[in-house]
Amino acid sequence: METERLLRAAADFLSTRPNATLDEIGAAAGVSHSTLYRHFDGRTALLEALDHAAIEQMRDALKTSHWQEYSPTDALRILVAACEPVAGYLTLRYVQGQSFETRKSVAEWREINSEIEEIFLRGQRAGEFRTDVTADWLTEAFFSLVSGAGWSVQLGRVARREFTARRANPAWRD
């Protein structure tokens, strides 16, 4: 549980201070440098752990949302809400870019992207989502929405309860 708390605090802090030192990350998480090192053997190990946590939480969101049981529009709304806990990690992925990925995680993210892309493909075939852009583009828009909503919640611009897509005017609808 301590590791999960440290990861969440590190993701939140690094998304606003991407070049922070381990000392600064530890201070933001409320632990000493040595405590942080007991959990993660350096910055690379911390970033890998953050990436792994993001992957696991995205997989969990996809699984628990049961998106296959709903219309594409409802599936997306439910999935956005299910992704609220992973939003901080997604923001960090955008901020850190490629330095955040490992060869293994690239393949795992591809699987996640494919599953989300399937929602958009179904929606396009059903006439629920726009067809003037690719499902891949819509998938990136989805990640941007979740990341941006999480960022806005973190900065206090919007209330956490406003996270769901039904409050947004999503880019995937005509």
Domains and CATH numbers, the chain: 51-167 (1.10.357)
CB 83 within 8 A of CB 146: yes
On the question of pLDDT at 172 being above 70, the answer is no
How far is residue 64 from each of residues 67, 75, 122, measured CA to CA in Å? Answer: 8, 11, 19
Q: How confident is the model at residue 64 (pLDDT cuts 50, 70, 90)?
A: very high
Q: Which of 30-39, 86-95, 118-127 has the lowest mean pLDDT?
A: 86-95
What does R_g of the chain's alpha carbons equal in angstroms?
17
Asked whether the predicted pLDDT for residue 158 surpasses 70, the reply is yes
* pLDDT score recorded for residue 2: 86
Residue 43 has pLDDT above 90, yes or no: no
Task: Record the pTM.
Answer: 0.84
Average pLDDT for the chain = 85
Phi (first) and psi of residue 171, to 5 degrees: -70, -15
Residue 171 and residue 141: Cα distance in Å, rounded? 7
Residue 104 has pLDDT above 80, yes or no: no
* Rounded distance between C-alpha atoms, residue 112 and residue 160, angstroms: 24
